[in-house]
Structure 1
Amino acid sequence: MRNVIYPGSFDPITNGHLDIIKRTAKIFDKVIVAVVDNPSKNPMFTLKERVELIKGATKDIKNIEIDCFSGLLIDYVKGKNISVMVKGLRAVSDFEYEFQMALMNKKLDENIETLFMTTNSKYSYLSSSLVKEVFRLGGCVNELVPDIVIEEMKKKI
């Protein structure tokens, strides 16, 4: 069985994230969307809320599982007994950061592979941070995030 982990903070999940999840789910038997609990960030949504938003946004995708973790990603991946993780790339700047992370993860465990998937070009500018900023300033984010996210963002602001 070919399983993969797609990690991220997903604060909130965007249509760019969904694009990567859907395309990855076509390639692998099972995709674990792993939400990281990173206390150094100041998230809009709690870890539990992010998990629930992802569940709502992906309810029609049958071969995914939503989970969360804290600590090193490599430890989480090894704990799941999976040897592949997928990372989405929007721009060259993403590649530079993710390439460094992939090399560090390879140093920590040479059996873990990182696959890079480029996003659909219509989402190449999209980030969770940008969505939150535009929303807080009164801009329209309707085509950037799932409807469930917009509903929950309205409750937060």
Structure 2
Amino acid sequence: MVVRVLFVCLGNICRSPMAEGMFRAKVDAAGLSDAIRIDSAATGNWNLGNPPHRGTQQVLTKHGIDYSQMRARLIDKDDFADFDYVIGMDGSNMQDLEALKPLESDVALKKLMDFAPDEGQHDVPDPYYTGNFAETERLVSAGCDGLLKAIREKFSL
């Protein structure tokens, strides 16, 4: 069985590609790259085809994570069937995802920070607006650690 995880934010150039890259690195380090498939997408369409934001590129580069193939894409209804987890970055993303989710879908819709309750944050702030990529990096890393732990426990990986 392959567990499929999709990270989603507004434009798919800051938070969700950062989460995709950081989670992939954590999955690879755990030796689980054959067991977990990872992608990211946007709820908005204005950055489609663009690479990650330069701030996200700097974070990923710092961690030795390749982002050269990452391009912003729009979430679509098939994603709700193709993925086991759809992970939003904030409450607004979650509202958009709930509205897009087909009624028949049983995908697990969660916020990334649901997996890092000790951080005391409910949302990952958008660094496109805040400029604080370091805070986003810290929160995304904590959320990814918690998500990987939850997946390993649920699926005995």
Higher strand share: 1
Q: Structure 1 length as normaliser, TM-score?
A: 0.47
State the structure with bigger RCO (CA 8 A, min sep 6), 1 or 2: 1
Is the radius of gyration larger for structure 1 or structure 2?
1
